[in-house]
């Protein structure tokens, strides 16, 4: 019997497992995938995510991986670029965009160093329930096809956007909308290593996140129908992506063409945005499994880090005082929803791609919201402080 079984061992699951193991609980993470590995995601961290890494004592490890410190941000509004230095706020003065194989690997290592166990190649296929209906573990299948049952006092679904755990647990969707946007991205060598770039043009939002190995992630978000020519270009998809960039954001397009593209183009469209019931007797959801928004606000990893800490704190309280579980877990959901509200609404407004002047206003509101959030995260009361020691 584990104290906690966490299904999914990337940014939400591994962070939750690490915090819980650091609080003295017996934690098992399972993931169906081989880790560390990349996943479909760009990976620009905003200030709140960096604050969490810093508070957890992991920021130096991320920088030591070779992910460059981002010290300035370029905002280009219809061909008028402005560069701003990242100010010292909430305890950090840089941003960073580690490759997911680096970030997720580092988080899973840190969880194991704190005492959590990791089993990869295990797919959760259902949940165990005791006679009173309380969730009491998971059922799963190993890579060799064996059935396993893993009993636990608490089960955490951290299995991402397509969460099967949410279905097994019966977690209801409280709020939802479908994004009308699509995103494509690739990697390029030869761009500035210290600058996040955001370019705004009519019906287009493009950017650059410098990352490990001298590469930069270059992305383009637009209303889905406008990216159809790329999606349907077959083997010419990357060429079609560069052509759109040159047309919409000529300076960036030129630099991408002059650089070296090192990866195949990846992308996705019309992502679901939702908030799910976050807990029930013996279970909770964290990360994309419980709350998801379009990547236009670049907030998913920070959401995962924020909610990992809120949830670990609530589970710790519940395991130490089972009579207080309902109150602790309700407080987790309420805090998650309150802290996510503003960015969720801004995500919806931005994905509608209003004219550039309004898009810029929304970006400014987003920037204020992100700074306030970073300050709030920096002020989290931390049982985690000792992990950073
Ligand atoms: C195109 C795109 C771009 C993005 N860009 C950014 C960005 O720039 N910045 C940012 O902060 N966020 C970004 N995001 C969002 C970010 O990727 C997610 O919010 C983040 O990955 C959520 O982490 P997670 O741990 O909840 O889920 P995931 O990273 O999806 O991990 C879930 C894990 O669960 C495992 N799993 C699933 N089902 C099972 C099962 N049944 N049994 C066992 N294991 C299972 C999977 O193998 C996986 O490893 C982007 C997303 C997309 C799609």
Domain boundaries, the chain: 2-68+96-178+271-388, 181-269
**d(CA 328, ligand 1 centre) in Å:** 26
Alpha carbon distance 29, 16 (integer Å)? 10
Pocket test for ligand 1, best of 31, 105, 285 (most atoms within 8 A of CB): 31
Taking the C-alpha atoms of residue 115 and residue 129, their distance in angstroms, rounded to an integer, is: 26
Q: How far apart are CA 335 and CA 314, in angstroms?
A: 11
> What pLDDT shows up at residue 329?
98
Tell me the CA–centroid distance for residue 182 and ligand 1, in Å.
Answer: 17
How far apart are the CA of 273 and the centre of ligand 1, in A? Answer: 14
Q: Is the dihedral of CA 162, 165, 170, 175 positive or negative?
A: negative
Q: Which atom of ligand 1 is nearest to the CA of 122?
A: 43
> Tokens 């995962």 label which residue?
304
Q: Which residue's alpha carbon is nearest to atom 35 within ligand 1?
A: 8
**Residue 387, pLDDT above cutoff 60:** no
How far is 67 from 342, CA to CA, in rounded Å?
A: 29
Q: Residue 382: pLDDT band by 50, 70, 90 thresholds?
A: confident
% the chain with pLDDT above 70: 98
- pLDDT band of 132, cuts 50, 70, 90: very high
Give which of 341, 345, 351 is closest to 376, Cα–Cα: 341
pLDDT at 45 over 50: yes
Nearest-atom index, ligand 1, CA of 35:
49
Q: What average pLDDT does the chain have?
A: 97
Q: Is the pLDDT of residue 389 over 50?
A: no
- 3 state SS of 206: strand
Q: pTM of the prediction?
A: 0.97
The mean per-residue pLDDT over the stretch 56-78 comes to 97
| Dist. CA 140–CA 122, nearest whole Å | 6
Sign of the alpha-carbon dihedral angle for 70, 72, 73, 78: negative
Superfamily of domain covering 2-68+96-178+271-388: FAD/NAD(P)-binding domain (3.50.50.60)
What span, in angstroms and rounded, lies between the C-alpha atoms of 288 and 40? Answer: 13
Q: What is the pLDDT of residue 383?
A: 53
Q: Domain spanning 181-269 has what CATH number?
A: 3.30.9.10
| CA–CA gap between residue 312 and residue 1 (Å, rounded) | 18
Counts for the chain of helices (H) and strands (E), in that order? 12, 19
CA-based max dimension of the chain: 65
The ligand 1 site (C-beta within 6 Å) comprises 7-8, 10-13, 30-33, 39-44, 123-124, 158-161, 164, 183, 268, 287-289, 295, 298-302, 304
Q: Is the pLDDT of residue 189 over 90?
A: yes
From ligand 1's centre to the CA of 156, what distance in Å? 15
Q: How far apart are CA 376 and CA 388, in angstroms?
A: 18
**Helical spans, DSSP H, in the chain:** 11-22, 47-55, 59-64, 100-113, 164-169, 224-231, 237-248, 250-258, 300-320, 325-351, 356-378, 385-388
Cβ contacts of 62 within 8 Å, gap of 6 or more: 53, 96, 98, 102, 103, 106
pLDDT reading at 386 higher than 90: no
Contact 121, 32 (CB under 8 A): yes
Ligand 1 centroid, distance to 45 Cα (angstroms)? 14
Q: What is the mean pLDDT of residues 46-63?
A: 98
Going by CA atoms, what residue is nearest to atom 1 of ligand 1? 41
Is the pLDDT at 388 greater than 70, yes or no? Answer: no
């Amino acid at each position: 019997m584990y104290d906690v079984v966490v299904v999914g061992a990337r940014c939400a699951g591994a962070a939750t497992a690490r915090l819980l193991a650091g609080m003295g609980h017996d934690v098992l993470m399972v993931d169906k995938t081989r880790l560390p590995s990349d996943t479909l995601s760009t990976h620009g961290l905003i200030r709140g995510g960096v604050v969490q890494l810093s508070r957890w004592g992991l920021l130096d490890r991320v920088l030591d991986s070779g992910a460059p410190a981002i010290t300035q941000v370029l905002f280009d509004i219809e061909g008028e670029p402005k560069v701003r230095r990242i100010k010292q706020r909430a305890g950090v003065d840089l941003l960073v965009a580690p490759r997911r194989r680096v970030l997720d690997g580092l988080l899973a290592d840190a969880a194991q160093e704190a005492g959590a166990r990791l089993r990869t190649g295990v797919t959760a296929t259902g949940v165990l329930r005791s006679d009173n209906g309380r969730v009491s573990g998971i059922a799963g299948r190993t890579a060799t096809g064996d059935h396993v049952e893993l009993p636990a006092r608490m089960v955490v679904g951290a299995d991402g956007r397509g969460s099967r755990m949410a279905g097994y647990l019966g977690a209801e969707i409280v709020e939802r909308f479908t994004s009308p946007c699509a995103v494509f991205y690739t990697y390029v060598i030869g761009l500035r290593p210290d600058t996040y770039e955001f370019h705004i043009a009519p019906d287009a939002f493009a950017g650059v996140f410098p990352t490990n190995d001298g590469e930069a992630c270059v992305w383009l978000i637009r209303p889905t129908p406008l990216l159809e020519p790329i999606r349907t270009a077959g083997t010419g998809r990357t060429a079609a992506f560069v052509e759109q960039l040159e047309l919409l954001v000529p300076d960036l397009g030129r630099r991408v063409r002059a650089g070296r593209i090192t990866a195949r183009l990846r992308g996705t469209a019309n992502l679901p945005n939702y908030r799910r019931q976050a807990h029930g007797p013996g279970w909770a959801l964290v990360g994309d499994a419980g709350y998801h928004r379009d990547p236009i606000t670049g907030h998913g990893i920070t959401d995962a880090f924020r909610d990992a800490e809120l949830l670990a704190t609530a589970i710790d309280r519940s395991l130490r005082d089972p009579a207080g579980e309902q109150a602790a877990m309700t407080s987790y959901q309420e805090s998650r929803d309150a802290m996510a509200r503003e960015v969720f609404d801004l995500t919806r407004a931005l994905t509608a791609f209003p004219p550039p002047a309004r898009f810029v206003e929304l970006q400014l509101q987003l920037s204020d919201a992100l700074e306030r959030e970073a300050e709030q995260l920096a002020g989290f009361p931390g049982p985690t402080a000792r992990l950073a020691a």
